[in-house]
Structure 1
Amino acid sequence: MHYDNHNIFAKILRGELTCVKVLESKKVLAFMDFMPEADGHVLVVPKEAVAEIFDLSDIAGAICFHTIRRVAIAVRAALKPEGILVTQLNGVAAGQTVPHVHFHVIPRRADEKLKPYKRTIAKLGKLESIAQLIRIQLEQSSELI
Structure 2
Amino acid sequence: MSYDPSNIFAKILRGEIPAHKVFEDDTALVMMDIFPQSRGHTLVIPKVASRNLLDADPATLSAVIPLVQKIAKAVMAATKADGIRIVQFNEAPAGQTVFHLHIHVIPVYEGVSMGAHGGGQADNAELATLAKAIAAQL
Deviation digits for residues 2-21 of structure 1, max 9, x if unmatched? 31111110000010001010
The 5 Å alignment of 1:18-97 reads 18-97=18-97
Q: How many residues align?
A: 138
* TM-score relative to the length of structure 2: 0.96
* TM-score relative to the length of structure 1: 0.91
Q: How far, CA to CA, are the matches of 1:63 and 1:134 in structure 2?
A: 20
Aligned to 1:55, what secondary structure does the other structure show? coil
Give yes or no for contact 1:2–1:99 (8 Å, CA) kept in 2.
Answer: no
Runs of 4+ in 1 over 4 A off after TM superposition: none
Q: How far, CA to CA, are the matches of 1:53 and 1:120 in structure 2?
A: 26
- 1:130 maps to which residue? 130
Where does structure 1 lack aligned partners over 5 or more consecutive residues? Answer: 139-145
- 1:142 maps to which residue? none
1:7 maps to 2:22: no
1:117 maps to 2:92: no
Q: CA deviation at 1:77?
A: 1.0
Give yes or no for contact 1:3–1:49 (8 Å, CA) kept in 2.
Answer: yes
Aligned to 2:72, what secondary structure does the other structure show? helix
Q: CA deviation at 1:80?
A: 1.2
Q: CA deviation at 1:116?
A: 2.1
Query: What is the RMSD of the two structures over their aligned residues, measured on CA atoms?
Result: 1.0
Aligned to 2:6, what secondary structure does the other structure show? coil
Q: CA deviation at 1:55?
A: 1.7
Q: How far, CA to CA, are the matches of 1:135 and 1:94 in structure 2?
A: 30
One-letter identity of the residue aligned with 1:85: R
Q: How far, CA to CA, are the matches of 1:2 and 1:89 in structure 2?
A: 16
- 1:105 maps to which residue? 105
- 1:143 maps to which residue? none
Deviation digits for residues 90-111 of structure 1, max 9, x if unmatched? 1111111111111000000121
Identity across the alignment (%): 40
